[in-house]
Structure 1
C-alpha cells in the first residue's frame, strides 16, 4: 500500500445528510487549497449535482466491474446504491499535494480511519432533525429521499463521539471559520487572520 508522508492529511467531512457537509467542505477545501476526492456512486443524479464534481455517477454494472478489479479502497451500500472511493484517486493526489478532503457517511469514514490511522481527521457536522428536513426540502429532493435520509439520522448522529471533532452547523460562515482554525493545527499552513 501507498506510504503517506508526515505532512499528508486526509480530512473527512461526515455527519447526517442535510447537515451541510458539502457546503462547509467546499469552503474549507478552498481556504486550504485542498483537492476533493470524488466518490463513485450508482444512484441517479439529484437536482443541482454535477457529474465528476459531486460524484462520479456510474451504472451498477460499471461499479461491479471496478469492484471486481479491486479499485475501491472503501465501498459501502446505502439504500440499495453503492458508494466507493478509489485508492488511486487518494494516492495520486497525495503525491503532489499534502492534503485532500472527502465527504462520507460514518461507514466510509470508519474504513478510511482503519486504513490510514492518524492521517485521517474526521470532522462531524450536524444540525437538528427539523433543520435537516427543511434544508432537503429547499433543495427540492423527492419526499422518499428525504424520508430515507431521516431514517438514517439517529445512526449517523451516533457516530459523533467517534470523530476527532464535531461542529454544530447552522451558520456556514461561522462553521467554516471554526473548522479552519481547528485544521490549522493539523495542516500547519500558517494562515494569517487579517481581522
Structure 2
C-alpha cells in the first residue's frame, strides 16, 4: 500500500457508463478546486470529449511504449481500446493539492482502493438502464458502444455495495449538491451557506 499523509484524499467517481459520473465529478471537482487526474486512452474522442480534459488520447504505439516502461499502475482493455492510469500523475497532483479526483470504471476504483486504502473514497453514480441508454443516444454515441455499455450495466451496478457513497443521478444540480455536502465531512472545510 502506498503511504499518503492524513490530509491526502483520492475521490474516485465510478459507476455504469452513461450514468453521468464524469459530468458530476467535474462539477464537484470545480466546486472544491480539486485537480483531476486523467487516464490515457488509445481510442478516438467521442462526441463532446476533449483531449487533455476527458482523457489523454494517445496512439496505441505510444501506449505500448509507456506500458513497456512500467508507467501505468492500471491498464485495462475495453472494446479493443486500452486505458491506463499513471502513478506519477497521481503523485504530481498531490504536490499541488491535498485532494484529487478521478473518474474510473469499477476495476480501476478497486485497484486504487487496494493501493491507497482509506485515502480512497469511492463515489458510485448511477441511473437506471433506460436513462443511461437515452443519455448515450442523445450524446451521439455509436450504437455498438451503447450495446456494450448496456451489456455491462449489471456488472457495474454490482460494485455499488463496495463503495463508500452511492448517489442517483437524475438531476445534476441536486446530485452535485448532495455529493458536495458529503465531501465537506472529508475535507473539513467550514463553508458558510448564503441565500
Question: Aligning the two structures, in what range does the TM-score lie when normalised by the shorter sequence?
Answer: over 0.9
Contact 2:2 2:116 in 1 (8 A): no
Cα separation, 1, equivalents of 2:2 and 2:116 = 10
Cα separation, 1, equivalents of 2:150 and 2:44 = 19
> Cα deviation per residue 1:49-91 (whole Å; 9 max; x = unaligned)?
1001100111112111101111111111212211111111110
Q: Give the SS at the match of 1:36.
A: coil
Cα separation, 2, equivalents of 1:32 and 1:2 = 24
Contact 1:34 1:99 in 2 (8 A): yes
Cα separation, 1, equivalents of 2:79 and 2:50 = 21
Question: Residue in 1 aligned with 2:102?
Answer: 102
Cα separation, 1, equivalents of 2:76 and 2:110 = 11
Cα root mean square deviation, aligned: 1.1
Cα separation, 1, equivalents of 2:98 and 2:189 = 10
Q: Which runs of 5+ in 1 are unaligned?
A: none
Q: Give the SS at the match of 2:76.
A: strand
Question: Residue in 1 aligned with 2:67?
Answer: 67
Cα deviation, residue 96, structure 1: 2.1
Question: Residue in 2 aligned with 1:126?
Answer: 126
Cα separation, 2, equivalents of 1:21 and 1:28 = 10
Cα separation, 1, equivalents of 2:96 and 2:48 = 30
1:177 paired with 2:177, answer yes
Question: Residue in 1 aligned with 2:187?
Answer: 187
Question: Residue in 2 aligned with 1:150?
Answer: 150
Cα separation, 1, equivalents of 2:91 and 2:2 = 7
Question: Residue in 2 aligned with 1:161?
Answer: 161
Cα separation, 1, equivalents of 2:39 and 2:65 = 16
Cα separation, 2, equivalents of 1:38 and 1:118 = 21
TM-score (norm 1): 0.97
Structure 2 matches for 1:23-42, cutoff 5 A? 23-42=23-42
Q: Give the SS at the match of 1:136.
A: helix
Q: Say how many residue pairs are matched.
A: 195
> Cα deviation per residue 1:78-137 (whole Å; 9 max; x = unaligned)?
122111111111101101211110000000000000000000000000000000000001
Cα separation, 2, equivalents of 1:18 and 1:191 = 31
Contact 2:129 2:150 in 1 (8 A): yes
Cα separation, 2, equivalents of 1:9 and 1:173 = 24
1:111 paired with 2:111, answer yes
